[in-house]
Amino acid sequence: MNLLLIGSGGREHAIAWKLAQNPKVNTIYCAPGNGGTSRENKCKNVNITEMDELVKFAKENSIDLTVVGPEEPLTKGIVNIFKENGLRIFGPSKEGAILEGSKAFSKEFMKKYGVKTAEYEVFSDENKALEYIDGREFPLVIKADGLAAGKGVIICNTLEEGRAAIEELMTSDNFKEAGKTIVVEEFLEGVEASILSITDGETIIPFISAKDHKQILDDNKGPNTGGMGVICPNPYVNDDIMKIFEKDIMNPTLNGIKKEKMDFVGIIFFGLMITKRGVYLLEYNVRMGDPETQGVLSLMKSDLLELIEKALEKDLKNAEVQWENKSACVVIGASLGYPGSYEKNKEISIGDIGESKVFMAGVKDEGNRLLTSGGRVLALVSKAETLDLARKMCYNNIQNVKFENIYYRRDIGIAK
């Protein structure tokens, strides 16, 4: 089989690495890929990002299956276009991808189908939003409606912070169209959990749980990022929590997908908040999370390509996902300045990292050198019999991964 994998992040490097393990796979074309996929087994980068060019490439290179990594092409309808051209592709249609593409739509969907979520209001008028928060208790959560690369969620502790957040989202240039509509939500106190899952539109199979660490600084301080590290399984997600999640969130979501006839064959990611009052859904993603993917796929014993093919055949009811009885710790190495303006073109060297694995993200391959090109540069993944051992291994080995001014959090797996 020849596969086409769309995307350029650490998530896509991890997906490529996992797909390459299937003996049927001949070549995985990564479009555009990164400095990690350029050196990964069976992988070849192709510098294509435009949708019509991707369709043309798939036809001309006898691509058997296309897998979509990031959210943006999904929300723009790449799955619809590939299917119209008779090409096999894994991911939700544009109609399904709106669950991530619009937070306002997804909150209305949750309300309509009884998915447990925080109380909220939606605003497209800045003055009405400002008037609304004037009489509310803080903290509040204010979210951009559209895609904002994981940075469109602001927790506001005071009225002044709330006003500033509304102005930043709705009138500044930082968020453009994504912030023209906003969602104002009650603040939920608890522990976050990420549940990636696969669906064929008839069945959802949840993957092993994960815990992301979103903020840039230790002790969960500083601005949000795309994610600075992950542990899995999430120690706060036990069997009881999973049962509650399935009853209050997963099953009503599946019911809604069916009722809305969304043509949703792909990954659905549930961002949860575990509180004293129960388990709430914060958001949907319609693709694998980053860096959750790097940890989750490292623990997956099952073959990812076989799972994807079962989903495409609408046969997930007969599938079972097997997991290693281990824990994984993922630490992100970032460029100095991220999530603001950051340094680039620093040479990366990787020494002895034992049995750990490095997944590249913001990295370009220039001949015999790997250079930094993004804010989140790479993820080091270690797995062991216990979380404590996985953490120790990860932090021990990341000392041998070097580029000038590398930055990483020191408390992944410890911070609540």
In tens, the pLDDT along 222-233 reads: 988 889 999 999
In this predicted structure, the answer to whether residue 361 has a pLDDT above a threshold of 90 is: yes
Query: Domain spans of the chain?
Result: 2-91, 119-186, 190-318, 327-407
H helix runs in 203-271, sequence order: 239-245, 251-259
Paired with 270 in beta bridges are: 195, 284
Mean of pLDDT values over 130-134: 90
For residue 176, is it left (φ>0), alpha (ψ between -120 and 50) or beta?
Answer: left
In this predicted structure, the answer to whether residue 172 has a pLDDT above a threshold of 90 is: no
For 190-318, the fitting CATH number among 3.20.20.70, 3.40.80.10, 3.90.1720.10, 3.30.470.20 is: 3.30.470.20
119-186 with 327-407: one CATH topology?
no
> Could you tell me the strand order of the sheet in which 357-360 lies?
278-285, 266-275, 191-199, 204-212, 229-232, 327-334, 376-384, 357-360
Provide the pLDDT for residue 158: 92
Give domain 119-186's CATH architecture.
2-Layer Sandwich (3.30)
Provide the pLDDT for residue 126: 87
| Fold type of domain 2-91 | Rossmann fold (3.40.50)
Return the HEC string of 10-73: HHHHHHHHHHCCCCCCCEEEEEECCCCHHHCCCEEECCCCCHHHHHHHHHHCCCCEEEECCHHH
In tens, the pLDDT along 363-406 reads: 999 988 999 999 999 999 999 999 999 999 999 999 999 999 99
Longest distance between any two alpha carbons in the chain, whole Å: 61
Provide the pLDDT for residue 150: 61
Other CB atoms closer than 10 Å to residue 77's CB: what's the count? 16
Which helix (H) or strand (E) is 232 found in, with range? strand 229-232
CA 20 from centre of chain: 21
CATH 3.10.150.10 fits 327-407, yes or no: no
Is residue 256 within 8 Å of residue 122, measured between CB atoms? no
**Distance between CA 39 and CA 395 in Å, rounded?**
24
**Distance between CA 120 and CA 141 in Å, rounded?**
9
Provide the pLDDT for residue 179: 77
Reported confidence tier of residue 320, pLDDT bands at 50, 70, 90? very high
Is residue 69 within 8 Å of residue 75, measured between CB atoms? no
In tens, the pLDDT along 35-84 reads: 999 999 999 999 999 999 999 999 999 999 999 999 999 999 999 999 99
**Distance between CA 33 and CA 411 in Å, rounded?**
30
Paired with 182 in beta bridges are: 123, 144
Other CB atoms closer than 10 Å to residue 124's CB: what's the count? 12
In this predicted structure, the answer to whether residue 149 has a pLDDT above a threshold of 70 is: no
> What percent of the chain clears pLDDT 90, i.e. is strictly above it?
88
> Could you tell me the strand order of the sheet in which 65-68 lies?
43-45, 27-32, 2-7, 65-68, 89-90
Token pair, residue 192, equals: 């976050």
- The more confidently predicted of residues 101 and 311 is 311
Produce one character per residue of 136-161: b if its CB has 16 or more CB atoms within 10 Å, e if not: eeeebbbbbbbbbebbbbbebeeeeb
* Mean predicted lDDT score pLDDT of the chain: 95
Mean of pLDDT values over 177-184: 84
- The more confidently predicted of residues 170 and 193 is 193
pTM beyond 0.85: yes
Reported confidence tier of residue 173, pLDDT bands at 50, 70, 90? low
Measuring CA to CA, which residue among 73, 65, 64 is closest to residue 92? 73
